Amino acid sequence: MAFQRIDSNFGNGPLSCAAWLYLPEKIEKPPIVVMAHGFAAERTFGLPAFAERFASAGLAVLLFDYRNFGDSQGEPRNWVSPARHLSDWKAALTHVRTLSQIDTKRIALWGSSFSGGHVICTAAEESDICAIVSQVPYVGGNTDVKPPLSFVVKYMWGLVLNKIKLALTGKPHYIPAVGKPGEFAIMTAPEAQDYWRLVPKNSTWKNRVPVSILKEIGHYQPIAIAHKVMCPALLVLAEQDKITPPDPIRECVRQLPKGELLSIDTGHFKIYQGKGFEQTVAHELEFLLKHLKNQ
């Protein structure tokens, strides 16, 4: 099915979030899937392939960048913050509910990795969501795992540098989002190197995030409110995933009143491309059509 993609930016406070609206042709008032990217990524990092597949099947899609990411406004860049991201999800829903081209009574949420947790949290508060897809999500879980002493030392020093830089320049101290094993970065598992396959060749994206996220991430526990999600929820896990491991995701599914699980034998980033993508998107599309088309 043919579709068109148009800009459909929306505001959150004084800043604008860049968004694309995918509209299937010859369908009046289609249901819509709201999508956003993961941790330190941008909407162009592997997500258009999912959006295009959904739109080709007759679903409208709103795909957006958070504030401070991609084509959206805001400084500092790549500011990863669960609170800010969740605020942008609410702003996106407010925007979607004003769109005359779509059926505002049939809305689904789709998130991947860090945003997989965000859609759980958003659906727990928004009672009119019809369904969510949460792909290789960060759901929180065990907070008793102790990081190596070397990491703690670097983390504490990073916080000191952050205070100094903020005081002198107004800009945060950054650390890499993706690093090699043993480096001081957010994602250092060997499979993290697959991240670079998702970055478009012409991208100006910089591999860095403010160190402040390390203070927030341990307190971010989407799994703790999963029981409040009343709509059907599909969680997708990758059995070889070292970034968002399978066990917390399995436990999160058990907490969801209407949770379903799809297990794919692949890694965290390989779910965006090739065989992993084809397996995942087909199942997600079937789930979305079931819960959006029949409303």
What pairs with residue 22 in β-bridges? 5, 61
* CB neighbour list of residue 173: distance below 8 Å, 6 or more residues apart: 158, 161, 162, 164, 165, 166, 210, 211
Lowest mean pLDDT of 29-38, 52-61, 142-151, name the range. 142-151
Average of per-residue pLDDT across 38-66: 97
Percent of the chain whose predicted confidence (pLDDT) is above 70: 98
Amino acid at 226: A
Average of per-residue pLDDT across 142-163: 84
pLDDT of residue 146: 74
Average of per-residue pLDDT across 145-173: 90
Average of per-residue pLDDT across 22-49: 97
The model's confidence at residue 144, banded by pLDDT at 50, 70 and 90, is low
- Alpha carbons 144 and 150: distance in angstroms, whole number: 17
* pLDDT tens, position by position, 228-279: 999 999 999 999 999 999 999 999 999 999 999 999 999 999 999 999 999 9
* pLDDT tens, position by position, 205-214: 999 999 999 9
pLDDT of residue 148: 82
* pLDDT tens, position by position, 3-23: 999 999 999 999 999 999 999
**Integer Rg of the chain from CA:** 18
Ordered by where they begin, the domains of the chain are 3-147+220-293 (3.40.50.1820)
pTM: 0.96
| Strands 60-64 vs 32-36: parallel, antiparallel or unpaired | parallel
* pLDDT tens, position by position, 68-115: 999 999 999 999 999 999 999 999 999 999 999 999 999 999 999 999
The model's confidence at residue 139, banded by pLDDT at 50, 70 and 90, is very high
Instruction: Say whether pLDDT at 37 is over 60.
Output: yes
**Average pLDDT over the chain, rounded to whole?**
95
